[in-house]
Chain A
């Protein structure tokens, strides 16, 4: 039963990602990406990581993707983006990288299949994650906070500058 669910979810994730890649309209692509992320979240759940599954939905499918949708709407790319996208769909652009990725994928699947897999995954609860995050990995949390600070400061600086430049352009 679990196995069947796993394969269904996996198939959905793969298909949704594939469709997301081939859409010419950015919003459509994003919606498919959200579907793909939801499928991945389900796989996490099946593997015994409910917390990771929830995070996947809340943060990736929720926050980040919605942010993307907003930004794309705000930028108001219109048909220009679609035209560019259509040009990029030319097989000469993607055929070689895809082939290389396919080879890599086959090799990976064969290799991973050779590993001795755990049949009964252990369920990791949110509490355990919390304990390890504030136990052995407390430093990782702290460093991550600094990382976010760096990102924030950098984004603030670059963003402010761009908006100022835009203003100048508008005035000029």
Chain B
């Protein structure tokens, strides 16, 4: 290990140190405020190191590759984790029982997401995934006297375990074919003459690739909750504590997508028509199922769960189109990274607000009726949520529009007319339920009992996120250039 190695790993080390300090602190002195403080300091230190290494491009052991793109993703995740911490403090402070371990698990889950983002090796991929997953099982099951969260945790545990098993089996098959777990070697392994997996290779050898990729695709689709592997999503989102719903919908999914993106691009999987066909089918089903099922939801968490299914369907279009545009599929990175960042900030506003509502109502869930009259009771937060919903709907001036612009551009250049028409249909349906939420906020306040006045850090976090979403929508050039130059 050289100095550069340590520099490259500094964000992860910062989180590990933070986790250790938290562990000791909880062992000796239970104090929620102190725990929150240490967690925030940990995340800030991690952010500091991440900003310090934005230009670094360094392979640290075969396991992790630190490059500007993954550093960008990590910055997004850690920022969101930090905001999740503020929201969680509000959520936990009035709850009975010992709540300190919550933050320890949040730090560990965030660490998992960074490992996943930096992974260039199937071993680190699985380790990051499981680190995040195991911390999340604990977080989902965290609340007291709530059977729903236990149910959600068990559902997540079992299904996520099954999908990890599928993923591992797929990786094993890849290893059987290529003899390597290292992403770049996967590419050469698949292309090498001994394996010779090409159109002229034996039928069964090609079948093996098909099987392996099908298993991997299924495993990843589970984690990204793409239809038809989405069944767990609404239930788990509904049962989780509200801040963790946000974590699941943003960081957890984002990290899996970032890692998948890297695997897809480095391994040049777009060369396999069966994978691209599989992705196309997943994308179409996800857009339609997500949007259609979201229409009837009264529970905002479930609504966001379905909408996130649809959004990852949109995101897949970039991956599918990339293969036709550039021979190495590298053009997938810029659009999907932009879309993902916009989606994460946007969704975190909505889930953060739900967390604030559920903390003030002392109830796990927020229904449409709970946000009635928000426009008149708390115009600032209502504006934040409106911006978030409009961004999800892809209205200009928000990050969501630029994301959609990218997807349209990719789709048109690749000539993916079928996917684009599905995208338009999906967006049309999507507007209905996003507007329904906005409409609820404008109705008469008398029908709702909650008086929403979250603490200052939460309000500031939500406003910061809103400004970020607007900034990404109004002045996207800097981030576009950053992503373009670093791919």
Residues of A within 8 A of B (CB): 104, 107-108, 110-116, 136-140, 142-144, 146-147, 149-151, 153-158, 160-161, 165
Contact B131 A143 (CB under 8 A): yes
Contact B131 A147 (CB under 8 A): yes
Besides the contacts A138-B61, A147-B127, A154-B105, what 11 more A-B pairs have beta carbons closer than 8 Å?
A: A114-B205, A114-B208, A115-B176, A115-B177, A116-B194, A138-B1, A139-B61, A144-B127, A147-B134, A157-B101, A161-B97
Contact A150 B108 (CB under 8 A): yes
Task: Please report the C-alpha to C-alpha distance between residue A149 and residue B24 in the assembled complex, in whole angstroms.
Answer: 13
Task: Please report the C-alpha to C-alpha distance between residue A153 and residue B144 in the assembled complex, in whole angstroms.
Answer: 16
Residues of A within 8 A of B447 (CB): none
What are 12 contact pairs spanning A and B, CB under 8 A?
Answer: A112-B176, A112-B208, A114-B204, A114-B205, A114-B208, A138-B1, A139-B63, A140-B123, A150-B109, A150-B112, A154-B105, A161-B97
Contact B211 A108 (CB under 8 A): yes
Residues of A within 8 A of B105 (CB): 150, 153-154
- Assuming the contacts A107-B207, A154-B135, asked whether A146 and B108 have C-beta atoms less than 8 A apart, the reply is yes
Residues of A within 8 A of B187 (CB): none
A159: min CB distance to chain B, Å: 11
Task: Please report the C-alpha to C-alpha distance between residue A149 and residue B205 in the assembled complex, in whole angstroms.
Answer: 41
Contact A158 B141 (CB under 8 A): yes
Residues of B within 8 A of A161 (CB): 97, 144
A155's nearest neighbour on chain B, judged by CB, is B138
**B117 is an interface residue with CB less than 8 A from chain A:** no
Contact A154 B137 (CB under 8 A): yes
B122: min CB distance to chain A, Å: 11
Residues of B within 8 A of A149 (CB): 19, 23, 108
Contact B142 A150 (CB under 8 A): no
**B104 is an interface residue with CB less than 8 A from chain A:** yes
Task: Please report the C-alpha to C-alpha distance between residue A160 and residue B138 in the assembled complex, in whole angstroms.
Answer: 12
- Assuming the contacts A115-B208, A149-B23, A153-B104, asked whether A136 and B138 have C-beta atoms less than 8 A apart, the reply is no
The 8 Å CB contact of B138, one of A110, A144, A153, is A153
Residues of B within 8 A of A160 (CB): 98
A114's nearest neighbour on chain B, judged by CB, is B204
Contact A156 B204 (CB under 8 A): no
Contact B61 A137 (CB under 8 A): yes
Residues of B within 8 A of A (CB): 1, 9, 16, 19, 23, 60-64, 97-98, 101, 104-105, 108-109, 111-112, 115, 123-124, 127-128, 130-131, 134-135, 137-139, 141-142, 144-145, 153, 176-177, 194, 202, 204-205, 207-208, 211
Residues of A within 8 A of B204 (CB): 110-111, 113-114
Contact A137 B208 (CB under 8 A): no
Contact A150 B124 (CB under 8 A): no
Residues of B within 8 A of A113 (CB): 204
B376: min CB distance to chain A, Å: 40
Contact B115 A150 (CB under 8 A): no
Residues of B within 8 A of A158 (CB): 138, 141, 153
Contact A136 B63 (CB under 8 A): yes
Contact B111 A146 (CB under 8 A): yes
Task: Please report the C-alpha to C-alpha distance between residue A116 and residue B205 in the assembled complex, in whole angstroms.
Answer: 10
Contact A137 B123 (CB under 8 A): yes
**Which residue among B60, B123, B131, B144 has the maximum number of chain A CB atoms within 10 Å of its CB?**
B131
B252: min CB distance to chain A, Å: 14
Residues of A within 8 A of B9 (CB): 139
Residues of A within 8 A of B205 (CB): 111, 114-115
B46: min CB distance to chain A, Å: 14
Residues of A within 8 A of B135 (CB): 150, 154
Contact A139 B208 (CB under 8 A): no
Task: Please report the C-alpha to C-alpha distance between residue A113 and residue B144 in the assembled complex, in whole angstroms.
Answer: 52
B204's nearest neighbour on chain A, judged by CB, is A114
Residues of B within 8 A of A146 (CB): 16, 19, 108, 111-112, 131
The 8 Å CB contact of B211, one of A107, A140, A150, A154, is A107
A167: min CB distance to chain B, Å: 14
Contact B127 A110 (CB under 8 A): no
Contact A153 B64 (CB under 8 A): no
Task: Please report the C-alpha to C-alpha distance between residue A11 and residue B416 in the assembled complex, in whole angstroms.
Answer: 50
Contact B61 A143 (CB under 8 A): no
Contact B63 A156 (CB under 8 A): no
Top 5 closest pairs, chain A to chain B, by CB:
A154-B138, A111-B208, A114-B204, A150-B135, A150-B108
Task: Please report the C-alpha to C-alpha distance between residue A170 and residue B432 in the assembled complex, in whole angstroms.
Answer: 50
Residues of B within 8 A of A137 (CB): 61-63, 123
- Assuming the contacts A114-B204, A146-B108, A154-B105, asked whether A139 and B131 have C-beta atoms less than 8 A apart, the reply is no
**Which residue among A104, A136, A146, A150 has the maximum number of chain B CB atoms within 10 Å of its CB?**
A150
B144's nearest neighbour on chain A, judged by CB, is A161
B378: min CB distance to chain A, Å: 33
Task: Please report the C-alpha to C-alpha distance between residue A113 and residue B208 in the assembled complex, in whole angstroms.
Answer: 10
Task: Please report the C-alpha to C-alpha distance between residue A140 and residue B54 in the assembled complex, in whole angstroms.
Answer: 23
Residues of B within 8 A of A154 (CB): 105, 134-135, 137-139, 141
